[in-house]
């Protein structure tokens, strides 16, 4: 699915992250991008069996631009050293719960959920977890879910309970989260294997009930 030349291009880009180099190697970039786009399109076709809403998406609309926004960054490197795609019927910039693919040499992963939600959405998710902790835990404690993801990412979680909740709340470990995401890392050997598509679909299908819970909370 993913050609070795695609990862090789990203490795070279990391060492030569300059516009002059990129312009000279644009043909290699085009080939790598096409390789990724084909993979994403295959994922969309397979995902439609358990997430019908993605059937209206096309790969190129899901993929993020390789150009970095350097306006407010100290790092002025003009290009990302990964290919990323958001699979979200609401659009990749919608802020709705969705699926994410990140391909980067030595740092590839599949993820999903809702990252950095706006305050009203964060409040709604917390309220839904507080209301239906049993249902939320049933998803997180599913044997296959735990084996695939381990649990929720604790990135940036609060030290103290969020406003309106007590430390004694049985859901407090979840309510302290500011993001609700799960992640599965992908070694390069898996990225380059013939089983990548199968692994991607299996991972996202396992993730689907979690995404569904978040969508219900968001309303």
Instruction: Determine the pLDDT at residue 43.
Output: 98
Number of domain units in the chain: 1
The sign of the dihedral angle between the CA atoms of 218, 131, 52, 196 is positive
- The span from the CA of 171 to the CA of 160, in Å, is 13
Q: What is the pLDDT of residue 4?
A: 97
Residue 129's nearest CA partner among 165, 83, 156, 78 is 165
Picking from 57, 56, 77, 60, the residue whose alpha carbon sits closest to that of residue 68 is 77
Q: What is the pLDDT of residue 90?
A: 75
Residue 218's nearest CA partner among 135, 142, 124 is 124
Q: What is the CATH number of the domain that holds 208?
A: 3.30.930
pLDDT of residue 123: 95
Residues 6 or more apart in contact with residue 193 via CB below 8 angstroms: 199
Q: Are 185 and 108 in contact (CB under 8 A)?
A: yes
Q: What is the pLDDT along the chain (219 residues), one digit of tens a residue?
A: 899 999 999 999 999 999 999 999 999 999 999 999 999 999 999 999 999 999 999 999 999 999 998 777 888 899 999 999 999 987 777 778 999 999 999 999 999 999 989 999 999 999 999 999 999 999 999 999 999 999 999 888 999 999 999 999 999 999 999 999 999 999 999 999 999 999 999 999 999 999 999 999 977
Q: Quote the CA–CA distance of 129 and 120 in Å, as a whole number.
A: 14
Cα–Cα dist 198/164, whole Å: 43
Instruction: State which residues form the domain around 178.
Output: 4-218
């Amino acid at each position: 699915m993913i050609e070795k030349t695609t990862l090789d291009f990203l490795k070279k880009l990391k060492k030569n992250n300059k516009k002059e180099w990129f312009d000279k190697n644009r043909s290699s970039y085009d080939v790598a991008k096409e390789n990724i786009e084909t993979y994403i399109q295959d994922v969309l076709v397979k995902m439609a069996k358990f997430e019908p809403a993605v059937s209206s998406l096309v790969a190129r609309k899901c993929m993020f631009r390789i150009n970095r926004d350097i306006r407010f960054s100290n790092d002025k490197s003009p290009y990302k050293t990964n290919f990323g795609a958001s699979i979200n019927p609401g659009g990749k910039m919608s802020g709705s719960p969705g699926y994410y693919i990140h391909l980067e040499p030595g740092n590839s992963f599949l993820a999903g959920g809702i990252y950095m939600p706006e305050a009203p959405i964060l409040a709604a998710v917390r309220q839904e977890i507080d209301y239906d902790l049993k249902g939320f835990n049933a998803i997180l404690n599913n044997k296959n879910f735990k084996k695939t993801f381990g649990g929720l990412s604790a990135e940036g979680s609060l030290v103290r309970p969020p406003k309106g909740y007590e430390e004694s709340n049985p859901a407090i470990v979840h309510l302290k989260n500011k993001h609700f995401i799960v992640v599965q890392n992908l070694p390069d050997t898996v990225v380059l294997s013939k089983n990548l598509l199968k692994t991607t679909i299996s991972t996202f299908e396992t993730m689907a009930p979690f995404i569904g819970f978040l969508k219900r909370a968001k309303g």
